[in-house]
């Protein structure tokens, strides 16, 4: 098992985006962190727990305090856990996969739908170097809603209030309040933007329809 000072060094290197050479000491420590995460998620996923017990287990998994209003429906999967940072009142639905080695931040009031994948690692494109790993953090803002079966790829930032439609594959940053859909995801509308239309004799305010799904 990796001790705390060792894994903090590893997590910092990953958050900084340093390439991990396959078979290196850092790579072996990542595997040890993964094994620890498997032990905790096996406990989390394969028997019933109260909401309080789920919060305690998730706090152990990420090695950080968890907000009293945090919600999770198991099962939940991660091959690290220690590079997850949560805001307040985050909700994660069943079947999600968080690959958080490169750093994964979820802002306040974020909603994560069923079977969402958040990925922060890429393998090298060169077949001779394919075992090497390139971490890149994923940052999700406040009040974001990510629909079921969506995938967010390494290095993406999703702005406050944005919506990711079910099944979307997000490969680029998403602006605040944008609604994105498709593979790869593209902006299809904006949520709740107030337009001011001026005329010679009157001013009227119109709000774009914010219905998404």
Q: Catalytic: 114?
A: no
Give me 81's structure tokens: 């856990």
Q: Determine phi and psi for 56, rounding to 5 degrees.
A: -65, -40
Secondary structure class of 196 (helix, strand, coil): strand
Q: Which candidate in 49, 123, 134, 206 is catalytic?
A: 123
Burial 79-108 (b: 16+ CB within 10 A, else e): bbbbbbebbebbbbbebbbbbbbbbbbbbb
One DSSP character per residue, 82-114 reads: TTEEE-SS-EE-TTEEEE-TT-EEE-TT-EE-T
Strand 169-170 relative to strand 157-158: parallel, antiparallel, unpaired?
A: unpaired
How far is it, in rounded angstroms, from Cα 183 to Cα 172? 11
Catalytic residue annotation: 123
């Amino acid at each position: 098992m990796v001790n705390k000072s060792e894994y903090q060094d590893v997590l910092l290197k990953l958050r900084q985006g340093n390439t991990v050479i396959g078979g290196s000491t850092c790579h072996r420590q990542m595997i040890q962190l993964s094994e620890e995460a498997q032990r905790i998620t096996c406990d989390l996923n394969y028997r019933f727990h109260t909401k309080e017990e789920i919060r305690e287990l998730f706090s152990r998994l990420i090695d950080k305090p968890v907000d009293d209003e945090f919600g999770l429906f198991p099962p939940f999967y991660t091959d690290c856990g220690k590079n997850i940072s949560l805001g307040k009142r985050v909700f994660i639905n069943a079947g999600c996969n968080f690959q958080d080695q490169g750093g994964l931040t979820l802002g306040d009031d974020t909603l994560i739908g069923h079977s969402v994948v958040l990925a922060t690692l890429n393998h090298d494109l060169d077949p001779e170097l394919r075992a090497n790993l390139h971490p890149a953090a994923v940052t999700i803002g406040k009040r974001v809603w990510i629909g079921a079966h969506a995938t967010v790829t390494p290095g993406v930032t999703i702005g406050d209030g944005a919506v990711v439609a079910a099944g979307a594959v997000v490969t680029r940053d998403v602006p605040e309040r944008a609604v994105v859909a498709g593979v790869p995801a593209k902006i299809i509308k904006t949520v709740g933007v107030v337009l001011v239309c001026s005329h010679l004799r009157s001013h009227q305010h119109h709000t774009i329809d914010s219905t998404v799904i």
